[in-house]
Amino acid sequence: MSALSDREGGRASGRAVEGGAPDSSRAVYVISVAAELAGVHPQTLRIYERRGLLDPSRTRGGSRRFSERDLDRLRRIQELTAEGCNLEGVRQVLELEAEVARLRAALARARAEAREAIESTHRQYRRDLVPLSQSPVPYANTRGTPRRR
């Protein structure tokens, strides 16, 4: 199955992916529906796409299809423009947010690897330790001289 939508008559199919939750990356909304859901004009979506702020999927016929992830990004664009950012500023903010997310994921992976390395080292220490007999060993005079008291 392709990334193309399962749309009939402009309505989303409402299908869920195997886990039961909807797939946020599945492109199902045509431009008019996406614009209505976001509260913007379809031309605004075209402008955002030309400026590189949105990257909707395309059908074989060339029609745009927007996913929930695209709509979330569009909402973030609207928040930033409402705060006074121009479109170039929005693009830069979105790039920085994406970079921060990538770096956080890399840091989480590095931390997990470090934890595993530490645990592995500790497990190795436990294997390398030799048990010490705790029973008392009486003193034995091996030189043949009596012990002084």
pLDDT digits (tens, 9 = 90+) for 43-88: 999 999 999 999 999 989 989 999 999 999 999 999 999 999 999 9
Q: Which CATH number fits domain 31-126: 3.90.930.12, 1.10.1660.10, 1.10.260.40, 1.10.760.10?
A: 1.10.1660.10
Look-up of token digits 């840091």 = 107
20: left (phi over 0), alpha (psi -120 to 50) or beta: left
State pLDDT tens for residues 90-133.
999 999 999 999 999 999 999 999 999 999 888 887 666 666 66
140 three-state secondary structure: coil
E strand or H helix that includes residue 102? helix 87-128
Look-up of token digits 């709509």 = 71
- Tell me the two tokens of residue 145: 């001289």
State pLDDT tens for residues 1-60.
343 333 333 334 444 445 555 677 787 889 999 999 988 999 999 999 999 999 999 989
- Tell me the two tokens of residue 42: 């379809």
Alpha helices in 11-86 (DSSP H): 31-38, 42-50, 68-82
For residue 99, count CB atoms less than 10 angstroms from its CB and return exposed for 0-12, middle for 13-18, buried for 19 or more. Answer: exposed
E strand or H helix that includes residue 58? strand 57-58
Cα distance between residue 95 and residue 72, in whole Å? 15
